[in-house]
Amino acid sequence: MWPLGAMAAHLILMLLARRRRYNECVRNIPFGRGRAATAGLLLLLPATMALWPRPADAGPAARFSQSIAVGNSPILRVNLRVGSVEIRTWNRPTIDIQSTAGLTVRHFGAQAVAANMRSDLPIFSSTTNSRFGPVTLGQETFDLPTMSANPHDAVAVRSAGRWAGVRIEIPANTALVLANVGAGRISMQGYRSGTFVARVHTGRILMRRMGGTGFAEVVRGAIFIAGSSFERLRVRTAVGPILCERCTVRQIDATSIVGSIGYDDGTFQPGLAHFESQYGNVAIGVRAGGAQIAAHSASGRIYSRFDDGANVTGSGRNRNATVGGGGPVVTASSGAGAVFLYNGSITAHHSLARPWQPIRRIVLRRAPPIRRPRVRH
């Protein structure tokens, strides 16, 4: 048997060198008994470390920084294969980009942008696995609002393939933001005057203090939106929850295949609101104003808890709730899950029965704080 010290040194060498170089280094070393063999291995260790190059990620993280002057109402497009992108607004006529890894950045003039603008954006289908087998978010088209007649230049940001933590500051009057991440996270904050399309295949989307018109999609993961007000919002997941907290919407279409949907402590402006999950639960909590809610569950139950005297009619798997004297039409339906109707935030309702607990847990997760990607100086 080898001495314990010799065994430890031998394992260290195996971890630090590839098999070929390791064999070259130790082929002629006598792995004998006693302290001499141990000392020989330990003396060889520094030399082996000096011969073997350090891994590419052993040193300080690479830093990318670029600032681009843009005109009025620019367009931003971001594509990351793997990584995290945070987008915030500021009052400067520049788009500032910082990253932990190298990026490819291109600036397009107004003439090139005008030649490639279109009135709608195709959203291609995506498939992932779930406990019910493969599930697919079908292809659809997202109609873009008509942008101003002002010329729009554009900035396109693309990663080189490795993981990147990216922070982007954009003018508050940016007309359009297109962000796509394969695996990772998109965070957006304070963008209220334009249109956004945010898509993540595996990961999550976080949004705070947002506005305007938008499309948000996560194939596998969660979407959290807090303290925002939208003219039109399309949001969907294949596998993962959707939670809107303290939001106001004029038009919303929220769908999930295998995931619950919560619209907690929210308000509805005159328009249409639709919430639907195939296998998850749907919860609607009305903060202020009125609403006319039509709830349906194909194989689950419908629960209601209103402290302000809302009028709830119907029974079984179909119920209608008139809140605050009525108002915008809201439809909430689930295929295999339950539907929950209540006023305000679910956290304000105490002594909830067991069926309410799954929705309560989703709301208690809340939208996590948006932390800036770590970019070393």
The answer to whether 350 and 313 have CB atoms below 8 angstroms apart is: no
Q: Which helix (H) or strand (E) holds 51?
A: helix 35-51
Half-sphere exposure of 286 (CA within 13 A, CB side): 29
Rg of the Cα atoms in the chain: 27
CA distance 283 to 341: 6
Indicate the range of 45-49, 93-97, 357-361 predicted with least confidence: 45-49
Tokens of 336: 């295999």
Using DSSP's 3-state secondary structure scheme, residue 139 falls into: coil
Side-chain-side CA neighbours of 164 within 13 Å: the count stands at 28
Instruction: Please give the structure tokens belonging to residue 271.
Output: 């328009």
Q: What is the rounded CA–CA span in Å between residue 194 and residue 175?
A: 5
Local structure of 334: helix, strand or coil: strand
Name the region of 240 (left: φ>0; alpha: ψ -120 to 50; beta: rest): left
- Asked if the model's pLDDT at residue 318 lies above 50, the reply is yes
Domain limits, the chain = 4-51, 64-365
Please tell me the pTM assigned to this model.
0.80
Rounded to the nearest integer, the mean pLDDT of the chain is 84
Q: Percent of the chain at pLDDT above 70?
A: 80
pLDDT at position 278 over 70: yes
Residue pLDDT, tens place only, 168-223: 999 999 999 999 999 999 999 999 989 999 999 999 999 999 999 999 999 999 99
Check residue 268 and give its pLDDT. Answer: 96
Contact assessment for residue 295 and residue 341, using Cβ atoms and an 8 Å cutoff: yes
Look up the CATH number of domain 64-365: 2.160.20.120
pLDDT on residue 202? 97
